[in-house]
Amino acid sequence: MSVTQTLDQIGEKVNDIAERVENAPPGIMDRIAGGLLGGGALTVIGIANQLTPDPNGYGTHRQLGLGACTMLSLTGWPCPMCGMTTTFTLFAHLRPVDAILNQPFGTVLFPITCAMAGIGMVDLFTGRGALRGALKWIQRRERLWAGVLLFGMLGGWLYKCVKMHPEVFGLHWS
């Protein structure tokens, strides 16, 4: 599947969600959607705040009772989201420089999570339809956002690969 086809599929999904939200009755549906979105995002941020960032830059998720990363265990190479739990934890502990240096893609995902929390809470408490507006805004820029997310993830993965295996890339630092 090509990048264009993947972006088109993502765009179709965003359009479907936007249409469902747009056609839902205002008020109560906005409050329900806001509660789910905001509650989920706040839960992620709250859990990240309770964890202790692993000094290795990955593995913080193990504090949640999850196992070691299968890809890293089997290959010695990081997965595309390697270090993201640690990065969210660093951001939640107000250590943005450490977070960015650990997994730069978290610089995109953590603010999006915070924005989702804010938008969700606005809708939960006011029923104003902030999520509807946000989805319309994203829909008008769906290819841009899909590209940012796709290439951001790939860039973060490459960064993590270089950071964990500098010798393979001809780099040697102490």
Asked whether residue 174 is assigned to any structural domain, the reply reads no
Asked whether residue 120 is assigned to any structural domain, the reply reads yes
Spell out the per-residue pLDDT of the chain, length 174, in tens: 777 888 788 888 888 877 776 676 668 888 998 999 999 999 999 999 999 999 999 999 999 999 999 999 999 999 999 999 999 999 999 999 999 999 999 999 999 999 999 999 999 999 888 998 998 999 999 999 999 999 999 999 999 999 999 988 888 765
What's residue 25's pLDDT?
67
Contacts 24+ apart (CB under 8 A), 39-48: 39/120, 39/124, 40/116, 40/120, 41/113, 41/114, 41/116, 41/117, 41/120, 42/117, 42/120, 42/121, 44/88, 44/113, 45/88, 45/92, 45/113, 45/114, 45/117, 48/85, 48/88, 48/89, 48/91, 48/92
Asked whether residue 173 is assigned to any structural domain, the reply reads no
Asked whether residue 117 is assigned to any structural domain, the reply reads yes
> Which domain range does residue 8 map to?
3-66+73-163
pTM metric for this prediction: 0.81
Asked whether residue 172 is assigned to any structural domain, the reply reads no
**Number of domains observed in the structure of the chain:** 1
